[in-house]
Copies of this chain bind each other. A is one copy, B any other.
């Protein structure tokens, strides 16, 4: 069988399984997830053994220590996967929610009901825990899932997949509800991305290269974010203590993630006092600053920011700093260089807070809080399946609800159209 035929058939099986998943009760889905959690824990030694094969291959092929660390499956990480599934089991089921129901003048009642999307394809790299995490979210929302992890984690992912499939089978459910692509041939991804008859949505998780590859080659809708270039704007009448606390947290609490601050914008009226203060505070935390000329006039040891610094996602202890004329220029800067991820204003001014909330286009806009809160879990969505910085379907952190859509239902008493 060619890889194209394999992928078509695997996706078609998932489509069939999805039809059954869509009509399961919450109780059955929760039971399934809890059994999967227990089965993963019980299978610890098997999983570690499979993971050893991946690790050996990774060491041999000279993967970086950071990549190898991400690849490791040990008891702690297996427990974390199981805990993740239990957490998802405890979340409310979005499927079946009637989000509106209104009576029309002719007496028909028109409502909208949440239903699963059908089949979700996840294309990801390295971390084998995504296999269980993503499967849990898709199953809970009544969807089948096709998982395509990185070739470096193939043995781990296949072993996790086998455990999950086993529990589907034990409950008399179709194992094809969780499909793990077993070939490491990159052609498989391309072929999956053509299965628009069977897969409803593709979510790529990984580096910008992977995401661009998926977006450019998919015939199926893709929900994605390329990067997070998050801004904090310190307004003229910000509380300096609060501003410093928020900026430090946004930059240093976990610099390697997409909701960390990458550019700090400072209102010109406070530059003389706030620039030296924040420069010193950042320096004390080991952050390298790169600033505009006005920034450097108040903090001469700050490096020169080039055009590339605006728009850079450092994912590191580096921060671009720019002094702006006013809120309008801050918004324009964000509009030009931002990534539609998360932007923050620190201000005590009511009017400016409202204007920032209204005019900034990004998927998350905050007043007086750290950009590090931009996360499905922190927002109360439960576990996060991804984040979208494109506006169709979902915008911002995505939870279970984003794996559903709504159909219309109409309840009549024999009405016909005049």
Contacts and interface: CB of A to CB of B under 8 A. Distances in A.
Contacts of A409: 357, 364-367
A343 to B, nearest CB: 10
Contact of A392 (B110, B200, B413): B200
Contact of A380 (B104, B365, B396, B413): B104
A407 interface: yes
A414 interface: yes
A413 B346 CA distance: 9
Contacts of A393: 392-393, 405
A154 B210 CA distance: 42
A370 to B, nearest CB: 4
Contacts of A249: 416-417
Contacts of A245: 414, 416
Given A362-B407, A391-B118, A406-B395, A369 B415 contact: yes
Given A23-B359, A408-B397, A410-B364, A373 B417 contact: yes
A92 interface: no
B108 A369 contact: yes
A62 to B, nearest CB: 35
A201 interface: yes
Given A379-B104, A392-B392, A367 B414 contact: no
Contact of A416 (B246, B408, B414): B246
A213 to B, nearest CB: 14
A378 interface: yes
Closest 4 CB pairs of A and B: A369-B412, A249-B416, A366-B410, A372-B417
A414 B239 contact: yes
A411 interface: yes
A415 B110 contact: no
